[in-house]
Each structure stands twice: as C-alpha cells, then as structure tokens.
Amino acid sequence: MNTIVGLATSISNSAVNIIRISGNQSVNIIEKIFHTNTKSSLNPNEIKHGFIKYNEEVFDEVLVSFMKAPKSYTGEDVIEINCHGGILVTNKILNLVISLGAKLAEPGEFTKRAFLNGKIDLTKAEAIIDLIYAKSDLELKCAINQTTGKLYKKLNFIKEKIVNILSHVEVIIDFEDEVEDVYKSDIENDIIKIINEVQEILKYKDQGVLIKQGIKTCIVGKPNVGKSSLLNYLCNEKKAIVTDIPGTTRDIIEEKVDIGGIILNLFDTAGIRESSDVVESIGINMAKDKIKESDLIFFVLDLTRDLDEEDFRIYELIKDKNIIFLLNKCEEINMFDTNEIFTQFKNSNEDNLAKISIKENLGFDKLTNLIKDKFLLSDLSLNTESIILTNNRHTEAFNNCLECLNDSLKSLKDLMPLDIVSIDIRKALKYIMNITGEDINEVIVDNIFSKFCIGK
C-alpha cells in the first residue's frame, strides 16, 4: 500500500495544525525534511522538536511524533507533524510531503487502513464517524458506547453461539435418521436463545433512528397562538417573524434544535384557518402536508382566548398523530383550563400536555420530559448499558439475521431435513459477520469510509 498524507485538523488559521503521514515510506520522507539538534533519530512513541527544512529552505518550527507499525492508529508507520496553524505554511509542508512520494489521503482513508489492517472492526469505524458528527448528547453517548466495543462484543458473542449451533447441526446431519428428538430440541432451544438476544438488540432501533435523524416535529395551531415564537424560543434565535397580526407565517420554516439532548427537526407552519388569501392558503396546505410526515405534533393553543371551532377543526387533522398539547401564554389570565382540554380533545391527558409561557419562560422542563417519555428516551439517557442501534446498516443486518433464525426454527419444527435448517443458520451468521466487516463486499466498505471527513 502506498504512503498517504492528510491534514488531521481543519484547514484554517489556528494555533496548531497536524499533518499525518501513514505508510512504509513515512519514516523515509520525514528523515529527508525533519532537522533536529539532538543526535538521536526519531524513536517510536516520542515527540521531537525541530525544523522542517528542504533544499536549504526552512518551512516551519515543528514537533514531530512517530508511531511504529503495528502500534499506530492505521497499523502502519505513522508520523505526525505538529506545525504552526497557518493555512499557507500547512499547505507548503503538505505539498512538500506529497512531492517526496506520499499520496493525498482520501476522506476516511486512515480509518479504512485501520480497518483493513485489523486494528478496528467496522462497527468501531462507523462509531468514529458518528462521534465526529454527533449533534446531541444522546447521539454522542451512543457513539461512545460503540467505540468502546460494546456492540462488537455482543456481535462476537452471538457469532460464537451461532457457530456452535451450526457445528452441532452439521455433526448430526450425517446421522439424521438415528438422531433422537432430544438433540433437535436442544438445537431448537439454542436458536430461541439467540433469537431473544437479537430481539433485545433490536428493542431500541426506533429510538436509534430518532436519536440519529432527529424527531420530525410540526408546530401546529390557529393563527397568533405563538407558533413562531415557540420556534424562535427553542432555537434561541429570531428565525421566524413574530407579530400580533394573525396570518404572519406563510412558508414553512425549518430548524434543528436540541431539547435536553434530543434533536428535533422543527417545522413552524402557517396558522391554519379558513382564508381567502391565496398566499396564506398555499401556506396552510403546506402545513397540512407537513403534519402527515411528522413524528410529533406540537399543538399550540392560546390560553388568552376561548377554545373555538378553529382549534377543533385543526384537532380533526392531527388527532391520529403523536400530539403534545401546548397551552401557551399561561402567564396571562387563562380563559380555559386543562379539564376543558381533556373534555374537548379526546386524546389529551396529563402525559401529553404542558402549560407554557414563551414570554416568561415557563413549562419547558415539563415539555422536555414529555418528549423523552413519549419516545421512551428517558430510560436511554439514564441507562448507558443498552445497545441502541443508530446505524441503518446494522439494523437491517440484524433484522435479516432474525428472519433467517426464525426460518431455521420453523424448518426445525416442521421436521424439514437438517441441511435446510443449516442453510438458514449459515445465512444468519453471514449477516452478523457482515456487521463487523468480516464478511462484506468492497463496494460497501468504500461507501462507508467515503462518509468520513478528510484526514480521519
């Protein structure tokens, strides 16, 4: 494999930049350009002070470290040059290293080499991408769990169990006619145990998707209840126009916000009412479409006005969705109370309702808890023991594995020949090995690493 070079830090004017070189030419290249006053050469796991110099030109004063193969991130000889963080100086050193034979690294190429050299499995590599791009505490927690190898250990455990079942099945295949039912029932029990393990891992898959992609949340209500004020409050910025004129918002305004470590993809919509205004009506129809594709609806009601037909009509549009009722402007004189809400809107209850005041910053802790409870995220934020699948590739493979295990169990119960049973168990094993990258095609590997940033 050729030697690669990349910038491990971002290219901007900063205190320090780190240029990383990996491959069997790294030491050769650095020896040509690194000059130090000390007599000893660059030893593994040591940082040395000196200058980058070539053809009498001094490029920069630097610190250089050396990690010798296989004890490095990539498993190859790795050199890191800590240079000053100027864009020009960094680029000059980078180009110098390239001119001496290194190739500019592709995005993710360092980590891909770590994987190909057996330093990490694919789940850890993917966790590193997730860690870099995590947008919320919960997402970060899931990624860290995965980098520590929790998922990998579980996968190995399942793999071992499946291999055991498979050898058991194959040993008795040849003697099938004489095999006593007790052996078959042993196999059946073992398969059931693995099915339970896989189901346990898949338990929080929906939460995983929400943690990674955010909860699509549509703010809905009649005009002037405070929908845009809510969006602005939650994203801590004046993104949407707020006025006391009903019908202010027309377009849908989208913002990502973090509420208590959970990401919401928030949509502010036009207040829904009968309107003869062409532009407003288009906005209202867009709001109705957005409702359909949302995971959660914030139904905003205005406590300073009586409930009316407009509120009831909107409820008809959203009643089958996941709703949180937000009774806004609670710091003012309230024209109705929660009991009236419970009477008028049949899906409402204490667990999906909060009185809030955007003006006085009231009720938002309750709102955070309601969201967590609704999506079973409260347990997860406390319980770091659970494996939460946030990666679609893993979820899909586990689902396929489960299907194969169920098929094998069915064949066994239907008294099918054992080689049929073993085909499905083999397939299940393949899916597990697919997740760790032990059995995976090259195109998928390239695709995974292309999502990395440059220099990682």
Ligand X SMILES: Nc1nc2c(ncn2[C@@H]2O[C@H](COP(=O)(O)OP(=O)(O)OP(=O)(O)O)[C@@H](O)[C@H]2O)c(=O)[nH]1
Query: Residue 190 in contact with residue 168, Cβ under 8 Å?
Result: yes
Judged by CB under 5 A, which of 74, 82, 145, 228 binds Mg ion? 228
Amino acid at 430: K
Query: By CB under 5 A, how many residues form the interface with Mg ion?
Result: 4
Residue 352 is given by DSSP the state: G
Report the C-alpha gap between 456 and 439 in whole angstroms.
23
Answer for which of 358, 421, 425, 435 binds ligand X (CB under 6 A) is 358
- Whichever of 42 and 270 has its CB closer to ligand X, that residue is 270
- Partner whose binding site includes residue 390, from ligand X, Mg ion, none (CB under 5 to 8 Å by kind): none
Q: For 198, phi and psi rounded to 5 degrees?
A: -65, -40
Site for ligand X in 182-221 (CB under 6 A): 221
249 binds Mg ion (CB under 5 A): yes
Contact partner, 442, from Mg ion, ligand X, none, Cβ < 5-8 Å per class: none
Which of 443, 399, 422, 395 minimizes the C-alpha distance to 151? 395
Regarding 355 and contact with ligand X (CB under 6 A), the answer is no
Answer for which of 227, 290, 372, 456 binds ligand X (CB under 6 A) is 227
228 scored as a contact of ligand X (CB under 6 A): yes
From the list Mg ion, ligand X, none, which binds 70 (C-beta under 5 to 8 Å, kind-based)?
Answer: none
Q: Using CB under 6 A, which residues numbered 268 to 287 contact ligand X?
A: 270-271
Tell me how far CA of residue 39 lies from CA of 20, 48, 110, 133, in angstroms.
Answer: 24, 11, 31, 43
Which one of Mg ion, ligand X, none is in contact with 329 (Cβ closer than 5 to 8 A by kind)?
A: ligand X
- 403 touches ligand X (CB under 6 A): no
| Cα three-residue angle 38-39-45, rounded to 5 degrees | 70
Q: Are 12 and 87 in contact (CB under 8 A)?
A: yes
Q: Is 436 in the site for Mg ion (CB under 5 A)?
A: no
DSSP-derived 3-state class of residue 178: helix
Q: How many chain residues interact with ligand X (CB under 6 A)?
A: 24
Q: At what angle do helices 392-413 and 122-133 cross, to 10 degrees?
A: 140
Is 328 a binder of ligand X (CB under 6 A)?
yes
Distance CA 273, CA 450 (A): 47
Closest to ligand X by CB, 221 vs 437, is 221
Query: CA 365, CA 38: separation in Å to the nearest integer?
Result: 60
Cβ contacts of 357 within 8 Å, gap of 6 or more: 328, 329, 330, 331, 363
Residue choice 170, 186, 258, 332 for contact with ligand X (CB under 6 A): 332
Is 290 an interacting residue with respect to ligand X (CB under 6 A)?
no
Compute the distance between CA of residue 18 and CA of residue 444 in angstroms, rounded to an integer.
Answer: 29
Which residue, 129 or 353, has its beta carbon nearer to ligand X? 353
Measured from the CB of residue 105, what is the shortest distance to ligand X in angstroms? 48
Amino acid at 6: G
Q: Which residues bind ligand X (CB under 6 A)?
A: 221, 223-229, 242-244, 246-249, 270-271, 328-329, 331-332, 357-359
Q: Which residues bind Mg ion (CB under 5 A)?
A: 227-228, 248-249
